[in-house]
Amino acid sequence: MAKLLTIGLLLTCCGGCAFAQSNDALDETLELVGLRRGDLGWQPKAWWPRFPDVPYKLRAFDALFAEPLDTITFTRALAQTARDRLDPGQLDQAQDRNSTSLFQAVQQLGIDPKFGGFRGYTANVLAPKTPLDEAILQLTRAADRPTRINTFGMELPYPKPKEDLAKMVAPIPTEISEILGQLVLNIVDAHYWAELAFRKVDGHDRIVVATRYNVGEEMIDAFDYCPQMDDMAKTWDEASMWYAGQKCVQALDFARIALKEIDLKDVPEFAFDWYSPWGWIRIHGAANDTCDGTDALLVVDLGGNDTYTGGVAAATVSRPLGLALDLAGDDQYSSQVPAQGAGLCGIGVLLDVAGNDTYTAQHYAQGVGQFGLGVLVDLGGNDTYFNKYSGQGCGYFGVGLLFDVAGDDSYKLYADGQGLGGVNGVGVLADRTGNDKYTAVRQHSTTGRPSYHSPDLDVAVSNAQGAGMGRRGDGADGHSWAGGLGALLDGEGDDVYTSGNWTMGTGYWFGIGVFHDGGGDDVYHGAVYTQGTGAHFCIGVCIDEAGNDQHLAEENSHSSLAWAHDFTIGILLDVGGDDAYSVGTGGLGYSINRSVAMLIDTGGDDIYRTDLKRREESQHGTPPGFALNSAGFRARDGVSTYFADTTSIGLFLDIGGDDKYWADLREDTPWDGPRNDAHWLDPADSPNWPDRNFSVGVDRKSGTIDFTPTPVRPPTGTPRTPDK
């Protein structure tokens, strides 16, 4: 114990844990420091000086902030929704023309967290089957453009849209033409609502916001305020935007299901390209086509290994809808402009049904929404995704979704995505099955995004893989915007996750970052602020449900693996398996500045490693489950009152298995610290006790935890006994 005291660590450790094993293990761990679950979390008081009051918080934030353990149920519910709604056995089942499973996935994972005005019953996609040429004529009239050209009392010899369309549609089989015509009419309906969303928005503001491509890098430290975003947030009609988005997703999915019932093997090679008042309508047959998605309202391809360039499936300021449906083939998507499911002040949806596809883009692509809805759905194949900035499930004042149903997939990103909820946004990457690889490039020499949390190292700011990040304006221009919901949800498979800083279930400035892996032997390579972490009034949750996993923070890492700073909820939960944890300093259930940090591992023979030398030489030489004390917790000078009025905890709990700690792994180092089947607390004379700042670590042989939320309103009366 003397060695611990020389580095300033006060630690009490007992040789055995005398728990009543039938009770809840987490409840008993909290009881060691006199706490119950209801003592965790915060409900800020409006009179607290200097406690931030920021706009644009998502509807879930305050409730989760008050009940930290509910974040586990919240995360698991999102993951179960992804698993259920993206089940291949359910995707083709239309429900009485009301909705499909894909519509429900977009609604429940994207729109619901952002906006509470819908219950997800139906998008009212009701257009009848109509020949394609007739539908395009109806679109033309809906755009207030003529379909019969008359002057001087006569019909001019040109243009003749009706006759021209009839000739161009002729090669398309009738039953396919009628399905596509139905799709076009449903798009006409959606277009009305998409435009309605901006009826009160200044036109210049809409142009500025739709072409603003630096939100990801600007929002964290607030260096380039865009007033048009504030103005648009106050004037746009969200309900109309999400209604239009629902209609677009449902219309594409209905068309997919209807076309699947047709034998497309005999479809001829043809190319129908028509420039409508709202952009190109391109319908291609079974050939290996090259398609330019620039200014395209709708692209449908029925087969072949196709190449797509330009802004396919992207909304622009002049065209609020951009939709694409590809039914088969190993396709190549490439773009230097927003594309592949980009909703910038509008709706961009790309639905690719089959094939081993490759998606490559520069920025704002592969499921990104900025004051709009961006969706990329890939239903099968071993796919490869690469996007530099802002994509692969990314939202800023909007919703961005990337859903991949099956296959061994590879995702690569420079920064800002793979499940990023930026300012007032929702970003979700959900991959249901397969052995997948997720990479947020770690080297800032490649990404151009160095991190001041890793000085003198080639480590980048990633903001990815389940990150909820806001705009912290309190040190700059005062325009603080709450972060959104970022989620990475992987259903199953042996997966590898690699990143720089701020990843894998991390939060910042009123953001919610969640990460869920449903099973498999997974490897996590993070750096700083990774795997259940966060800073400054936020939530970061990382859950792995099964498998022998490796939770690694790379060399010179810190502030990772259940690390929480400044009114943050940081939780890392791993269920079952023989797991390994490694961090440099500051982690493993480490709380500073009034936070809730929890690392919970249930089952398996686990190993906990740390950089022992660095721990001995620094103030962070601490056991798992540690809450750093600060004199500010006692201050009541009218400035930091909220520090004195609140409770915080650093908690570590390992249940079951023969576990090893860093001291057990070095024979030359005497250590009377954390060990298997023991528990450790702050000593009785620690200032943590009166300051309600608790350190608690437990390694126990057995036990279970019930994460079911407590009832919203527990019954207070005595039930009546029914009369016999």
Higher-pLDDT residue of 7 and 272 is 272
What confidence tier does 97 reach under pLDDT thresholds 50, 70, 90? low
What confidence tier does 11 reach under pLDDT thresholds 50, 70, 90? very low
Instruction: Give the number of other Cβ atoms within 10 Å of residue 713's Cβ.
Output: 6
- Per-residue pLDDT of 672-691, as tens digits, reads 568 899 999 999 999 999 99
Instruction: Give the number of other Cβ atoms within 10 Å of residue 382's Cβ.
Output: 16
The Cα–Cα gap between 289 and 519 comes to 39
- Per-residue pLDDT of 447-461, as tens digits, reads 999 999 989 899 999
Q: What is the pLDDT of residue 322?
A: 98
Strand partners, 485: 426, 512
Residue located via tokens 């490559």: 360
Task: Indicate whether 555 pLDDT > 90.
Answer: no
Q: What is the pLDDT of residue 583?
A: 92
Q: What is the pLDDT of residue 612?
A: 52
Instruction: Give the number of other Cβ atoms within 10 Å of residue 423's Cβ.
Output: 30
Give, as one character, the DSSP assignment of residue 408.
-
Q: What is the pLDDT averaged over residues 82-111?
A: 91
Task: Indicate whether 13 pLDDT > 60.
Answer: no
Q: What is the pLDDT of residue 103?
A: 97
**Closest residue by Cα to residue 40 from 571, 713, 680:** 571
The Cα–Cα gap between 649 and 26 comes to 13
Minimum mean pLDDT range among 250-259, 260-269, 614-623, 680-689:
614-623
The Cα–Cα gap between 412 and 360 comes to 10
Minimum mean pLDDT range among 90-94, 205-209, 300-304, 406-410:
90-94
Task: Determine phi and psi for 322, rounding to 5 degrees.
Answer: -145, 110
Task: Indicate whether 710 pLDDT > 80.
Answer: no
Report for 95-109, 383-397, 577-591: range of highest mean pLDDT: 383-397
Task: Indicate whether 162 pLDDT > 60.
Answer: yes
Task: Indicate whether 440 pLDDT > 50.
Answer: yes
Output the six-digit token pair for 720: 């009546």
**Closest residue by Cα to residue 491 from 425, 420, 406:** 406
Tell me if 85 sits within 8 A of 104, measured CB to CB. yes
What confidence tier does 662 reach under pLDDT thresholds 50, 70, 90? confident
What confidence tier does 19 reach under pLDDT thresholds 50, 70, 90? very low
Q: What is the pLDDT of residue 617?
A: 43
What confidence tier does 378 reach under pLDDT thresholds 50, 70, 90? very high
Minimum mean pLDDT range among 510-524, 605-619, 670-684:
605-619
The Cα–Cα gap between 456 and 723 comes to 77
Tell me if 250 sits within 8 A of 100, measured CB to CB. yes
Tell me if 569 sits within 8 A of 536, measured CB to CB. no
Q: How far is CA 481 from CA 241, 461, 532, in A?
A: 21, 19, 22
What confidence tier does 664 reach under pLDDT thresholds 50, 70, 90? low
Gap between the terminal Cα atoms of the chain: 67
Minimum mean pLDDT range among 63-72, 523-532, 556-565:
556-565
- Per-residue pLDDT of 381-408, as tens digits, reads 999 999 999 999 999 999 999 999 999 9
Q: What is the pLDDT of residue 636?
A: 81
Three-state DSSP state, 430? strand
Tell me if 376 sits within 8 A of 402, measured CB to CB. yes
Q: What is the pLDDT averaged over residues 331-342?
A: 98
Higher-pLDDT residue of 556 and 255 is 255
Q: What is the pLDDT averaged over residues 125-154?
A: 93
Task: Indicate whether 618 pLDDT > 80.
Answer: no
- Per-residue pLDDT of 53-70, as tens digits, reads 999 999 999 999 999 999
> Amino acid letter at 367?
G
Over the chain, what is the mean pLDDT? 91
The Cα–Cα gap between 398 and 423 comes to 9
- Per-residue pLDDT of 337-361, as tens digits, reads 999 999 999 999 999 999 999 999 9
Q: What angle do CA 205, 208, 210 make, to 5 degrees?
A: 105
DSSP per residue, 542-576? EEE-SS--EEEEEEEEEEESSEEESSEEEEEEEES
What confidence tier does 150 reach under pLDDT thresholds 50, 70, 90? confident
Q: What is the pLDDT of residue 611?
A: 67
Minimum mean pLDDT range among 418-432, 433-447, 546-560:
546-560
Give, as one character, the DSSP assignment of residue 481.
B
Q: For residue 243, is it left (φ>0), alpha (ψ between -120 and 50) or beta? A: alpha
Task: Indicate whether 500 pLDDT > 70.
Answer: yes
The Cα–Cα gap between 316 and 348 comes to 9
The Cα–Cα gap between 510 and 58 comes to 9
**Closest residue by Cα to residue 395 from 430, 415, 370:** 370
Q: What percent of the chain is modeled with pLDDT above 70?
A: 91
Q: Are strands 678-681 and 693-700 parallel, antiparallel or unpaired?
A: antiparallel
Residue located via tokens 């809805």: 373
Q: What is the pLDDT of residue 667?
A: 54
- For the chain, the helix, strand and coil percentages under 3-state DSSP, each to the nearest 5: 25, 30, 45
User: pTM of the entire structure?
Assistant: 0.94
Q: What is the pLDDT of residue 665?
A: 58
> Amino acid letter at 206?
R
Give, as one character, the DSSP assignment of residue 82.
H
Q: What percent of the chain is modeled with pLDDT above 90?
A: 81
